[in-house]
Amino acid sequence: MEIRLFQNDNGVSPVVGVMLMLSVTIIIAAIVSATAGSYSGTQKSAPSAILEVHFYENRSYGDFSTRAMTIEHISGAPLPTKDLSISTYYRNQSGQLIKGTLVGEKSVYLETESGKYAGALYINDEDRFGSRPLQDTSSGYKSWFGNSSAVLMAGDLLVTPARFCRDEPDHENPGLNYILNLGEKASDDGLKAGDTVSVKIVHVPSGQVILDKDIVVI
């Protein structure tokens, strides 16, 4: 008796196809998971801090007054100023909307301080940085905004070099003029009480906004 064996291959192709589809799906899922994990592990987050900004038309410094700006760190995490950018929007007395930006360590020249330079903004902490943050060159100083040593901590105050402007023409504050992008001589277009300056402070590494507020000049 001859015995014949028959093999049915009709179900092989569908099974192989399903297995291939499952393999591809698993590989794609693994790649997506690894990419997402890598992204979440490297993404920076902004430190949380509460800041308070003030603009002054006439802030007194002994026997004179001048326009000024301050940024106070009320509470929260330390903020390395090298990681911050400050943008301002101000409509001058002519009605023109002017945008100013401060990123990195920027200096301004003080004509009446024997040709010294000061930071457009600097941390006013004599215990940490000394009482006279002026330099012979524009190369930088440890208390100036944007310097790697200028870390703003709770209780610190960032200021413009207003107190060194006693003998500047019309008591101009070159640090404030730089921040607001008003030029070296801003007497006619300078801040007036009641004006509004929009201020945005961004943590550059994460792109997150730390402060976004309209500030009324006092």
* pLDDT over 70, % of the chain: 77
Check: CB of residue 150 under 8 Å from CB of residue 122.
Answer: yes
Give dist(CA 18, CA 112) in Å, integer.
Answer: 82
Q: What is the pLDDT of residues 157-168, one digit of tens each?
A: 999 999 999 888
User: Stretch 100-128: mean pLDDT, rounded?
Assistant: 91
HSE, CB side, 13 Å, CA atoms: give it for residue 174.
19
